[in-house]
Amino acid sequence: MRLTCPLCGPRDRREFYYYGAADYLNRPAGGDPAEWDAYLHLRDNPAGQTRDLWYHETGCAQWLLVTRDTVTHSISDVALVAAGGASGGGIAAKVKPEGSA
């Protein structure tokens, strides 16, 4: 598997750290426990197209929003989270992956 990093070009999977579903970008604003439970624990887990977060650990150290297929492993899009991701629109402020240690 290779990911085409927007900054570094096509790179081996071993350079990247997988974090999880792009749901992590939608952090709840309030303190509702059910919302936080859903945010931290519940997943769509699709068989097919998914969007998830990868970290280019041994490359540019950028968080990437990857659109790929969980059945075929084909990768259709890799975008910088900091630039708004593939879907665009100001998510950069939300991406600090708290609790990601």
Q: Summarize as ranges the residues that interact with other proteins (CB under 8 A).
A: 1, 12-14, 18-21, 33-34, 37-38, 40-47, 50, 52, 54, 70-73, 99
Which residues are within 8 A (CB) of 49 and not within 5 positions of it... i.e. 6 or more apart?
67, 68, 69, 70, 76
- For other proteins, the closer of residues 89 and 101 by Cβ is 101
The nearest distance, CB 90 to other proteins, in angstroms, is 26
- For other proteins, the closer of residues 89 and 99 by Cβ is 99
Q: How far is CA 32 from CA 5, 27, 64, in A?
A: 36, 12, 28
- For other proteins, the closer of residues 47 and 88 by Cβ is 47
Task: For residue 58, give the amino acid letter.
Answer: T
